[in-house]
């Protein structure tokens, strides 16, 4: 079964987070910041369908100590996601992209 | 091109909007940045008052606490932040010099990482640390 555009955008968002230095995906204390994708979940990404076939993406991340300036990291994440969505033919489907930093992971501190 | 959006996280945070979208930074992030920055300064042994350190130690052992945030209190606005710190300093260090170094480091880190302007860093020195002061670990009954 092919993935929906919403899930495809969520996967691209996951890749954008993984490719960006200084951040790691966060599912939150209750694990709600995730998107179901078949038999697994995409952590730290909430993808919500909007009217007119667009998809809003919320990226939930922790910063890794010592992080670069967070606004710059957020813009890098957005730029990456926009580029990869365009490359995948989903550029017109991508809606608002919000980035939320929830915590800082210190050296030796896990997720 | 993606436009700005919002996310409700159910926790205290401040929003930073740029032309490319909205970024939310939780107050816990500012708190932790300030705490880690203070610990980077030589002469700082620990953060927090005696009770906070005792509770923090216990809660960390059971996996609930985060000692990196103890002894730190922040007030975060849209553009500015104020930080209150409680420090334990190594005996023999100059308290004014260590306090000033902590102030500079906290301002540098918080402003550099979060983009917030730090209006004040208030420092209270709660205790002095002497080497050998720690309670010895309880001997384990099994090897």
Task: Give the HSE-up count for residue A1: Cα atoms under 13 Å, Cβ half-sphere.
Answer: 6
Predicted confidence at residue B4, as pLDDT, reads: 34
pLDDT band at B6 (very low <50, low <70, confident <90, very high): very low
The pLDDT > 70 percentage for chain B reads: 69
Sign of the CA dihedral with B44 first, then B48, B50, and B55 last: negative
Contact B114 A70 (CB under 8 A): yes
Number of domains in chain A: 1
Residue A39 C-alpha, separation from nearest chain B C-alpha, in angstroms: 26
The pLDDT > 90 percentage for chain A reads: 82
Give the pLDDT mean for B30-55.
Answer: 87
Residue A108 C-alpha, separation from nearest chain B C-alpha, in angstroms: 12
pLDDT band at B3 (very low <50, low <70, confident <90, very high): very low
Instruction: Evaluate whether A27 touches A75 at the Cβ level (below 8 Å).
Output: no
Predicted confidence at residue B1, as pLDDT, reads: 40
Domain span at residue A48 reads 5-105
Predicted confidence at residue A87, as pLDDT, reads: 98
What is the CATH number for A70? Answer: 3.30.70.1350
What string of H, E and C letters represents the secondary structure of B84-124?
EEEEEEECCCCHHHHHHHHHHHHHHHHHHHHCCEEEEEEEE
Give the pLDDT mean for B3-32.
Answer: 70
Domains, chain B, in order of start with CATH, read: 24-129 (3.30.70.1350)
Q: Is A24 contained in some domain? A: yes
pLDDT band at B57 (very low <50, low <70, confident <90, very high): low
Q: Does B132 have pLDDT greater than 70? A: yes
| Chain B residues within 8 A of A71 when measuring between CB atoms | 16, 18, 23, 115
* C-alpha–C-alpha distance, residues B100 and B105, integer Å: 9
Q: With CA atoms as reference, report the closest residue to B126 among B31, B53, B74, B35.
A: B53
pLDDT in tens, B71-102: 999 999 989 999 999 999 999 999 999 999 99
pLDDT in tens, A38-52: 889 999 999 999 988
Low-confidence ranges of chain A (pLDDT < 50): none
Residue B36 C-alpha, separation from nearest chain A C-alpha, in angstroms: 8
Predicted confidence at residue B9, as pLDDT, reads: 40
Q: Is A22 contained in some domain? A: yes
Q: Is A111 contained in some domain? A: no
């Amino acid at each position: 079964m092919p993935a929906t555009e919403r899930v495809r955008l969520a996967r691209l968002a996951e890749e954008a987070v993984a490719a960006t230095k200084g951040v790691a995906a966060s599912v939150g204390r209750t694990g709600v910041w995730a998107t179901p994708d078949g038999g697994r979940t995409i952590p730290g990404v909430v993808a919500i369908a909007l009217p007119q076939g667009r998809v809003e993406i919320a990226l939930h991340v922790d910063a890794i100590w010592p992080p670069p300036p967070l606004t710059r990291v957020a813009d890098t994440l957005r730029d990456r996601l926009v580029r990869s969505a365009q490359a995948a033919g989903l550029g017109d489907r991508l809606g608002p992209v919000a980035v939320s930093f929830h915590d800082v992971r210190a050296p030796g501190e896990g997720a | 091109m993606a436009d700005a959006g919002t996310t409700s996280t159910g926790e205290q945070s401040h929003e930073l909007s740029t032309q490319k979208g909205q970024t939310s930074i939780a107050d816990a992030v500012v708190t932790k940045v300030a705490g880690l920055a203070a610990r980077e300064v030589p002469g700082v042994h620990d953060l927090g008052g005696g009770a906070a350190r005792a509770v923090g130690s216990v809660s960390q052992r059971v996996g609930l606490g985060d000692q990196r945030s103890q002894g730190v209190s922040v007030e975060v606005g849209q553009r500015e932040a104020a930080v209150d710190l409680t420090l334990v300093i190594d005996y023999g260090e100059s308290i004014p010099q260590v306090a000033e170094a902590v102030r500079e480091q906290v301002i540098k880190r918080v402003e550099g990482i979060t983009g917030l302007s730090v209006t004040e860093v208030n420092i209270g020195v709660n205790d002095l640390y002497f080497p050998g002061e720690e309670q010895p670990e309880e001997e384990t009954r099994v090897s």
